[in-house]
Amino acid sequence: MILAEKITEARKKNGWSQEEMAEKLSVSRQAVSKWESAQSTPDLQKVLRLAEIFGVSTDYLLKDELKSETGTEILEYAAEESSVRSVSMEEANAFMEWRRKTGPTLAGAVALCIISPALLIFLAGLSDSHIENISENMATGAGISVLLLLVAAAVVIFVSYSIHGQQYEYLEKERIETAYGVTGLVQERKKDYESTFTRGIAAGVTLCILAVIPMFAAIAFSQPDYIITATVSILLLLVAVGVFFIVRVSTINGSYVILLQEGEYTPEEKRYKKKTEVFTTAYWCIVTAIYLVWSFQTREWDKTWILWAVAGVLFGGVRAVMRGKNKRKIKNREKRFFCRKIPL
């Protein structure tokens, strides 16, 4: 039995005329007639409403038409659309305040990770130059010790942030519906923060761009290798400061974006992130393993850091391709099943 037949059968079982059922659904009688004659398909909201007034599940209405892969996707889509978390004014304010307080700390942790190999690179350059009485083992030992200490400090901050943020995890991963007045409040705060956000991003990006100037200058003026290596450490320091600005303002502005379900936090993007979560975790674990193996085997810490830049660009490209395919898939699915506009 197809959907059209089930609608007809359920309507007659309840003793309703097409006009009476159309009134309950706030649609025209012609729309109901087209559904029952299979000339058109009700959209998602109408399917959910039909299930409600008939006292049946969406599974019952759709399952006989779901013998293909596409049908299974519809059931999943309907389930996601029907499970919406409500966000009160108190919850929204608590989340924004938590993001505001933890923004600088989180940004500092990211900066620590970036500058962690700076001393190792600098000491490695001095060791190779033989200007200072620093052996290769001494440079490697001191540099790695500082690197591990800084990374450990950053990990502690990340873990603490993650633990305290678990109570707000649903805001980033699930579909939400804000209480009355929340959207207006968040939009106002986002607008007030816009100038600060723009300045922070501009300052951070500028520092990241200017960070390469010392290194290029040293190369252009044919400076010794240890000077060039030292400029790499300066590059990391400037990039760390720039990223600090970017992460700080992005964390705070992100609270507004999350509550408004904009950008990367639209319902479609949340579904996409769930599907690619395993890939993202595996990708960066593999990159980290390659970096450590390569670095320890070659001991060329002043060169192996470039892996992170290459991995970041590659990851962005792969994500863009995957996101494009996912959007086309969703658009085609909705077009075929739930996005047909019924004339009222």
Is a pLDDT exceeding 70 seen at residue 139? yes
Q: Is residue 327 scored above 80 in pLDDT?
A: no
DSSP E strands, the chain: 85-87, 176-178
Q: Residue 344: its pLDDT value, please?
A: 37
Specify which of 4-13, 97-106, 226-235 reaches the highest per-range mean pLDDT. Answer: 97-106
Q: Are residues 107 and 229 in the same domain?
A: yes
Contact 342, 34 (CB under 8 A): yes
Mean pLDDT lowest for which of 37-51, 306-320, 324-338? 324-338
Q: Which residues contact 330 (CB under 8 A, 6 or more apart)?
A: 268, 271
The verdict on 30 and 59 lying in the same domain is yes
Task: For residues 91 and 234, state if they share a domain.
Answer: yes
| Domain-terminating residue out of 265, 288, 310 | 265
Q: What is the CATH number of the domain that holds 65?
A: 1.10.260.40
- The domain boundary, picked from 55, 83, 111, lies at 83
Looking at the fold, whether 158 and 92 belong to one and the same domain comes out as yes
Q: What is the pLDDT of residues 36-70, one digit of tens each?
A: 888 888 888 888 888 888 888 777 777 654 444 44
Residues 282 and 157 reside in one and the same domain: no
Same domain, 234 and 145: yes
50 and 179 part of one domain? no
From 65, 83, 101, give the residue that closes a domain.
Answer: 83
Joined together, the tokens standing for residue 110 give 């990211």
Same domain? For 282 and 261 the reply is no
**Mean pLDDT for the stretch of residues 158-170:** 93
The secondary structure of 291-314 as a DSSP string is: HHHHHHHH--HHHHTHHHHHHHHH
211 with 287, same domain: the answer is no
Query: Where in the sequence is the domain holding 94, given as residue range(s)?
Result: 86-265
- Residue 236: alpha-carbon gap to chain centroid: 25
Question: Considering its fold, how many domains does the chain have in total?
Answer: 3
Q: Is a pLDDT exceeding 90 seen at residue 197?
A: yes
DSSP-derived secondary structure letter, 133 = S
Please tell me whether the overall predicted TM-score, pTM, comes out greater than 0.75 for this model: no
- Report which of residues 134 and 234 the model is more confident about: 234
